[in-house]
Amino acid sequence: MQEFRADKGSWTTPAFWQDALYIAGSGDHGSCDSLKSFDFAPSTNFNATASSSSSHCFGFPGGPPVISSAGNSNGIVWAIDAGRYGTAASPCGGPEVLYSYDATNLRNHLWDSAQAGTRDQAGAAVRFTVPTVANGKVYIGTRTEVESQQPTAKSRLRENPALLTSPSRVCTAGDLARRLGRISPDPSGSRRSRFANVGRGGASG
């Protein structure tokens, strides 16, 4: 049994990969905290001092991290900053931002969906969304749109409220994967995606 203070406060779930714990808490409303990793050794348990942390500060409610890797190597940590969440009627809402980091050193920021202006911009933020990695793609839920993109090429399908009540976003690592060799691009083409209406539900806002 071990207990230590990992962040300012967390409303998210951590991830564990290659004897390291990853967590992106935020503290309370109006606060933020970085994505951190803590090393684990079976003989000594966790080192309570973070081994690395991101320079970006994730807003409330924090960003549940997800790891993609080639087995025990080439790890990428994906996390969403939904700190600008709002409602359809809220004037203060803004887009989610999907971040990726080198899992061995979180100071190494690889890519994010806000680094190129509106080119890769995600839909409106909702709280408690978790990235899902499958078949070379990273899926994230948003409030307002369905989108499929690479860091250098994007196609977007705006939400039809009558048909899609749980909009989602698809981000294929694309050029990032070719540069790092960490996620294989989808051979069928990153901008050819199929979506189906699954009824009401999804992440809460």
User: Average pLDDT of 201-205?
Assistant: 38
pLDDT at 82 over 50: yes
Q: What is the pLDDT of residue 48?
A: 73
Decide if 46 contacts 4 (C-beta within 8 A).
yes
Model pLDDT for residues 32-61, shown as the tens digit of each residue: 788 999 998 877 787 677 889 899 988 877
User: Domain map of the chain by residue range?
Assistant: 15-180
Decide if 193 contacts 148 (C-beta within 8 A).
yes
pLDDT at 63 over 50: yes
The two structure tokens encoding residue 59: 């807003």
Q: How confident is the model at residue 174 (pLDDT cuts 50, 70, 90)?
A: very low
Amino acid identity of residue 101, one-letter, is: Y
pLDDT at 19 over 80: yes
The C-alpha atoms of residue 72 and residue 125 are separated, in whole angstroms, by: 32
The C-alpha atoms of residue 108 and residue 95 are separated, in whole angstroms, by: 23
Which residue in the block uniquely carries the two structure tokens 């061995």? 104
Q: What is the pLDDT of residue 43?
A: 75
Q: Read off the pTM.
A: 0.68
